[in-house]
A and B are shown apart, each in its own frame.
Chain A
Amino acid sequence: MEQVKVLLEDKEIPRQWYNIMADMPTPMKPPLHPGTGQPVTPDDLAAIFPMNIIEQEVSTKRWIDIPDEVLQKYILWRPSPLYRARNFEKLLGCPVKIYYKHEGVSPAGSHKPNAAIPMAYYNKVAGTKRMTTETGAGQWGSALAMSCKMFDLACRVYMVKVSYQQKPYRRLMMNTWGAECIASPSTMTQAGRDFLAKYPDSPGSLGIAISEAIEDAVTSKEKSHYGLGSVLNHVLIYQSIIGLESQKQMQKLGIYPDVVMGCCGGGSNFAGIAMSYVCDKIHGKKVKVVGAEPSSCPTMTKGPFAYDFGDLAKTTPLLPMHTLGHDYVPAPIHAGGLRYHGMAPIVSHLVKENLIEPRAYDQLKTFDAGVKWARTEGFIPAPETNHVLAAVVDEAMRAKEEGKEKVILFNWSGHGLVDLAAYDAYLSGKLEAYELPDEEIQRALLAIKDFPKP
Chain B
Amino acid sequence: MNNEFNEKLTRCPRLGQEVIFSYCLQESGELPCPRIMHCWSHLPSLEKLLQHTLKPEQWDKFINRQTPDKISSLIEIIEAAKAKK
Contact = CB atoms under 8 A, between A and B. Distances in A.
Given A320-B37, A323-B47, A296 B75 contact: no
A215 B63 CA distance: 29
B30 A296 contact: no
Nearest to B54: A453
Interface stretch (A149-157, A195-203, A371-379, A397-405): A195-203
Interface string B16-43: 1111011101111111011101111111
Contacts of B52: 441, 445
A37 to B, nearest CB: 10
A254 interface: no
A232 B30 contact: no
B38 to A, nearest CB: 5
Contacts of A45: 71, 74-75, 78
A252 interface: no
B74 A214 contact: yes
Given A162-B19, A231-B70, A207 B1 contact: no
A191 interface: yes
A307 B13 CA distance: 13
A332 B74 contact: no
Contacts of B2: 440, 443-444
Interface string A181-224: 00000000111000100110011011110110011011100000
A296 B17 contact: no
B5 A440 contact: yes
A61 interface: no
Contacts of B8: 430, 432, 434
Nearest to B19: A162
Contact of B16 (A231, A325, A384): A384
B11 to A, nearest CB: 5
Q: Which of B4, B41, B82, B85 has the most CB of A within 10 A?
A: B41
Given A162-B23, A340-B35, A453-B55, A33 B75 contact: yes
Contacts of A336: 66
Contact of A219 (B23, B28, B85): B85
A261 interface: no
Contacts of A128: none
A137 interface: yes
A330 interface: yes
Interface string B33-76: 11101111111111111011101011001111111111111111
B80 to A, nearest CB: 7
Q: Which of B31, B35, B46 has the most CB of A within 10 A?
A: B35
A433 interface: yes
A338 interface: yes
Nearest to B37: A323
A338 B61 CA distance: 10
B15 to A, nearest CB: 3
B10 to A, nearest CB: 6
A451 B25 CA distance: 9
Interface string A318-336: 0110111100101011001
A77 B38 CA distance: 37
Given A163-B17, A434-B8, A452-B29, 12 more contacts: A35-B75, A163-B15, A214-B74, A214-B81, A337-B63, A338-B62, A362-B42, A421-B17, A430-B7, A432-B8, A434-B42, A436-B49
Interface of B: 1-2, 4-19, 21-23, 25-31, 33-35, 37-49, 51-53, 55, 57-58, 61-82, 84-85
12 contacts: A31-B70, A48-B74, A206-B15, A211-B80, A214-B78, A296-B41, A320-B37, A323-B41, A422-B11, A430-B9, A440-B5, A451-B53
Interface of A: 31-35, 40, 44-45, 47-48, 136-139, 160, 162-163, 166-167, 189-191, 195, 198-199, 202-203, 205-208, 210-211, 214-215, 217-219, 228, 231-232, 265, 293-298, 300, 307, 311, 319-320, 322-325, 328, 330, 332-333, 336-342, 345, 362-363, 383-384, 419, 421-422, 425, 430-438, 440-441, 443-448, 451-454
